[in-house]
Amino acid sequence: MQYSQLRIGFIGAGKAASALAMALYRSGWQVSAIYSRSWNRAVDLCKSVSANLCLTTYDVLLRADVVFICIPDRFIQQVAYQLARCPSSLEGKCIVHTSGTLDIDVLEPVRASGGLIGIFHPYQTLASRDSWKLLSKSFVGIDAPDPVFQLLSDIVRSIALDFFDLRNVSRVPYHISAVMASNYLIALLLESRYLLEKAGIPQDQAYRAVISLAVGALQNASELGLENAITGPLSRGDIITLHKHLQYLENAELYKALTAYKSLGLLLLEHIKKGKGKHIPIDQLDSLLGL
């Protein structure tokens, strides 16, 4: 079957499914079927990508050749068993989940029933339908036996920057990396905004200032490399400033922020040691940050 004839379906119509469906639709793929337990979201997504609204997961199989399962991890195997019991044949059908943590084996019921299986995990934070615009500059992790791997890599090339071959990659540290680079980054920005507000800066200004600072740091990292983008008191070996920071957080009883500050400081110090660490008092900094 030619790719132009392939029909793509989705089980799930949340943020990730919506962004991925939009990216595929905008790149010329035929998004033909959507099913979700959330009726309103499914209807809305169908309108956006000219897809058929499906009442069951079986309906998606009937209307699609490639099916993306975009639902919480805890439900993926349950859906795989549902699809495996589909009255119609799974032969030639490709079922793909988008989890960054689960292995391909979670889809084994589908494979055992004659279907093809794979993983397609966007290494990107997809917070809304408009996040499809981010995919063109993003990586996607894929895992599948041939020839499904070739199909998924071709899909990646049509909507994204590049792909990771996950066939021999340990999935847990891979996904921890994604969480730390996106979800936990937001946690840091929220805490940074709170500290600015606590210092007396109005919330609107605090928000804009924190975003501007973070964008600047990311731009430096992009242009100079991660190691060369390190700035601040630790990179200068500024013990006096570091002590003031720790003392303030302790006195203000901001214990979670204090723990995060120390933990991240120790992580950063490990990278500083590999570079210009010999020019700063590493042992004293290490001692101050000790948990």
Q: Is residue 175 part of a domain?
A: no
Residue 261 lies in a domain: yes
Of 128, 145, 170, the residue that ends a domain is 170
Q: Who contacts 100 (Cβ-Cβ below 8 Å, separation ≥6)?
A: 121, 123, 141, 171, 174, 175, 178
Query: Is there a single domain that holds both residue 129 and residue 96?
Result: yes
Which residue in this structure is represented by tokens 């790149």?
A: 27
pLDDT at 90: 94
What pLDDT score was predicted for residue 200? 98
- Do residue 8 and residue 146 come from a single domain? yes
Residues 137 and 194 in one domain: no
Q: Are residues 288 and 256 in the same domain?
A: yes
Residues in the chain: 291
Residues 119, 49: one domain? yes
What is the tally of structural domains in the chain?
3
Domain residues for 289?
230-291
Angstrom distance (rounded) from CA 230 to CA 38: 44
* Long-range contacts of residues 16-19, Cβ cutoff 8 Å, at least 24 apart: 16/70, 16/98, 16/122, 16/126, 17/45, 17/68, 17/70, 17/98, 18/45, 18/48, 18/128, 18/129, 18/132, 19/122, 19/126, 19/128, 19/129, 19/130, 19/131, 19/132, 19/134, 19/135
pTM, 2 dp: 0.92
Residue 148: name the closest of 114, 116, 178, 179 by CA. Answer: 116
Q: Checking DSSP bridges between strand 30-35 and strand 52-53, what pairing results, if any? A: parallel
**Amino acid sitting at position 22:** M
* 276 and 216 part of one domain: no
How distant is the alpha carbon of residue 57 from its chain centre?
A: 25
Both tokens assigned to 275: 């570079």
The structure tokens listed for 81 are 């068993």
Q: Are residues 142 and 23 in the same domain?
A: yes
Task: Find the CATH number of the domain harbouring 27.
Answer: 3.40.50.720
Same domain, 143 and 195: no
Residue 218's CB is within 10 A of a number of other CB atoms, namely 12
E-strand stretches of the chain: 7-11, 30-35, 52-53, 66-69, 94-97, 116-123, 139-143, 162-165
**Cβ pair 261, 215 in contact under 8 A:** no
- What's the CA gap between 67 and 94, in Å, rounded? 6
Is residue 176, in this structure, part of any structural domain at all?
no
CA atoms within a 13 Å half-sphere pointing along the CA-CB vector of 89? 3
Q: CB-side exposure of 32: number of CA atoms within 13 Å?
A: 15
**How far is residue 124's CA from residue 202's CA, in Å, rounded to a whole number?**
31
pLDDT value of position 204: 96
Residue ranges for the chain with pLDDT beneath 50: 1
